[in-house]
């Protein structure tokens, strides 16, 4: 069953989402070539705990860390490791927290130094597709409208592969609640979006094939062709004609601007 949230509950989810984004901003301020995923993970965990919250992913289904850190051909669910990042890497960092009984969830894909133009375009358009999906998250629309926004833009307009095996989700007192939020679908189909629905929308988009494979660690998801993959996520509340975006990528992007080792996500028009 779907849990529709009260205004008070939505504010609690927002506070958790903002802690997630402050944590991702802190991580972004330290991200550069030579740094390891494990170092970022420790930083994130300390930041979350110092705010009186707990990491949302640590121990979830047995996941060993606070952050999912997914480099280059890794789509999602990468386990932080001791291998230093290098110039030209793209790094998707996904973070969840639980505070005062409610979860927050957001993700961002970063570019370390100069990255290939086609890869930067993938990041830019994946982020765009998230915003197009959020525009569809309004009362009276259907879930298919949200997924179709991502699929049409990424597949038809840009020829990318939209991952099918992993989807967004409801969020609240649980990290993953019903309903599923696919990044594909048909307009006008699927469950109706009602006031109080809170969902994490998270396009996972591949430069090449949409096919993915899972590594023997039981977590790491890679693109089948080992081409790069991007992942951007916002948690949003369906409240009326326009979604209320509870997470804030702006905080992360401020940190990117101040970090000379990271490139902003943009393309030449």
Please give the sequence-ordered ranges of beta strands (E in DSSP) within the chain, or none if there are none.
54-55, 67-71, 74-76, 90-99, 102-112, 161-162, 168-170, 177-181, 198-201, 204-206, 212-214, 221-223, 229-231, 234-237, 244-245, 262-263
Query: Which of residues 69 and 149 has its CB atom nearest to Mg ion in the complex?
Result: 69
> Of 14-22, 93-101, 204-212, 256-264, which part binds Mg ion (CB under 5 A)?
93-101
177 binds Mg ion (CB under 5 A): no
Pick between residue 89 and residue 105 the one whose CB is nearest to Mg ion: 105
94 scored as a contact of Mg ion (CB under 5 A):
yes
Output 107 or 150, the one with its CB closest to Mg ion. Answer: 107
Supply the minimum distance, in Å, between the C-beta of residue 201 and Mg ion. 9
- The encoded tokens of residue 123 equal 């990041």
Question: What gap in Å lies between CA 37 and CA 112, rounded to an integer?
Answer: 13
Among 9, 22, 105, 177, binds Mg ion (CB under 5 A): 105
168-170/102-112 β-pairing: unpaired
CB of residue 161 to Mg ion, shortest distance in Å: 19
CB of 60 to Mg ion, least distance (A): 11
Give CA separation, 187 vs 133, 144, 149, 161, 200, in Å: 12, 5, 8, 19, 19
Residue 201 binds to Mg ion (criterion: CB under 5 A): no
Q: Which is nearer to Mg ion, 55 or 261 (CB)?
A: 55
Tell whether residue 17 is a contact of Mg ion (CB under 5 A). Answer: no
DSSP state letter for 190 = S
Q: Per CB under 5 A, does 200 bind Mg ion?
A: yes
Q: Which of 13, 26, 79, 107 binds Mg ion (CB under 5 A)?
A: 107
Q: How far is the CB of 243 from Mg ion (least distance, A)?
A: 16
CA distance 193 to 170: 11
- Residues forming contacts to Mg ion in the complex (CB under 5 A) are 94, 105, 107, 200, 233
């Amino acid at each position: 069953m779907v849990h529709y949230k009260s205004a008070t509950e939505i504010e609690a989810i927002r506070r958790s989402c903002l802690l997630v984004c402050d944590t991702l901003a802190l991580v972004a301020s330290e991200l550069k070539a030579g740094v390891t995923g494990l170092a970022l993970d420790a930083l994130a965990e300390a930041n979350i705990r110092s705010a009186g919250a707990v990491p949302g992913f640590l121990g979830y289904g047995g996941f060993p860390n606070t952050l999912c850190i997914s480099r280059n051909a890794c789509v999602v669910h990468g386990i932080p490791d001791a291998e230093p990042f290098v110039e030209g890497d793209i790094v998707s960092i996904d973070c969840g927290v639980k505070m005062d009984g409610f979860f927050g969830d957001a993700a961002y894909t970063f570019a370390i130094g100069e990255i290939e133009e086609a890869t930067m375009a993938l990041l830019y358009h994946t982020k765009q597709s998230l915003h197009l999906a959020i525009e569809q998250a309004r009362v009276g629309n259907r879930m298919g409208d949200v997924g179709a926004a991502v699929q049409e833009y990424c597949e038809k307009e840009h020829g990318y592969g939209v991952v099918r095996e992993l989807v967004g989700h409801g969020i609240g007192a649980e990290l993953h609640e019903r309903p599923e939020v696919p990044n594909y679908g048909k307009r006008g189909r699927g469950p109706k979006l009602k006031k109080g629905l809170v969902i994490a929308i998270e396009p996972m988009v591949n430069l090449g094939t949409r096919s993915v494979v899972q590594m023997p660690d039981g977590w790491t998801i890679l693109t089948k062709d080992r081409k790069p993959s991007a992942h951007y996520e916002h948690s949003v509340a369906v409240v009326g004609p326009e979604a209320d975006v509870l997470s804030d990528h702006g905080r992360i992007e401020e940190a990117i601007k101040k970090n000379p080792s990271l490139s902003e996500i943009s393309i030449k028009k």
